[in-house]
Amino acid sequence: MTSEPHRRAIGSLRAVALDAPDIDRLATFYTQLAGWQRVPDDEDDWITLDAGDGWQLGLQQAIDHVPPRWPDQDRPQQAHLDFRVPDIDAAAERAVQLGATLLRRSERWHTLADPAGHPFDLCLNPDDPRTTLMSVMLDCPDAKALSHFYAGLLGKPVTYEADGVAMIGEDGAQPVMFQQVEHYTAPRWPDPAYPQQIHLDVTVQDVDAAERAALDIGATRLDGAGPTWRVYADPAGKPFCLVWSV
């Protein structure tokens, strides 16, 4: 276990975004599973869900989405969400009724896939009656290296390191976790044959200054941009966006 002093952030985590061919269906699934609220907007290809505790989930329409086939690294998940629930068996049964697929049972957590095929874990937390999002966990070839990159990007300290696993940020404050996987296959955004599956949106104030700082710590600029966003890849090849308000 480790802990680092707080560092200056390049940006702050705005949302964890999932690709899906039917974002309305996926929004209904997560609002019913976890009680999240849909944020009103006028975008046809994006839905934001708010957990009310600092987490936001973005759902991005991807008509040609190729779902992961966990745990196959030929069609990797790239990342997954970890939820805490008071009863993993009851929560898994409820999730299946809502459209999830049960992938694996274990003593402390069950692994399922949402209606778009994204794996997620239901983790036992009997002391809290709520369904809450504990963390987003990114697959990578080097957990220590990627955790230090995101610590610099998001200004969250590295709070845990072990063999093949790391975490930045405090429990309850939108931590990001990292798990090392063998035969890691990186996304090749925007190639639909090697989909990103999940990406992080990072809010910045000055995008040009933030871009310089992100490139300095190991990011790569990708060929994607809009009026309020630019696309980059982290050192493991996973896309993320710097986003800002106008």
Task: Report yes or no: 198 and 236 within 8 Å, Cβ to Cβ.
Answer: no
pLDDT, tens only, 54-110: 999 999 999 999 999 999 889 999 999 999 999 999 999 999 999 999 999 999 999
| Residue in 19, 88, 65 with CA at minimum distance from that of residue 193 | 65
Residue 166 contacts by C-beta under 8 Å, 6 or more apart in sequence? 143, 144, 146, 147, 158, 160, 177, 178
Give the Cα separation of 147 and 137 in Å (integer).
11
Which domains are assigned to the chain?
A: 12-64+76-206 (3.10.180.10)
pLDDT, tens only, 125-154: 999 999 999 999 999 999 999 999 999 999
Question: What is residue 105's three-state secondary structure?
Answer: strand
Element (H, E) at 28: helix 23-34
pTM of the model: 0.95
Give the Cα separation of 30 and 25 in Å (integer).
9
Question: What's the confidence (pLDDT) of residue 43?
Answer: 87
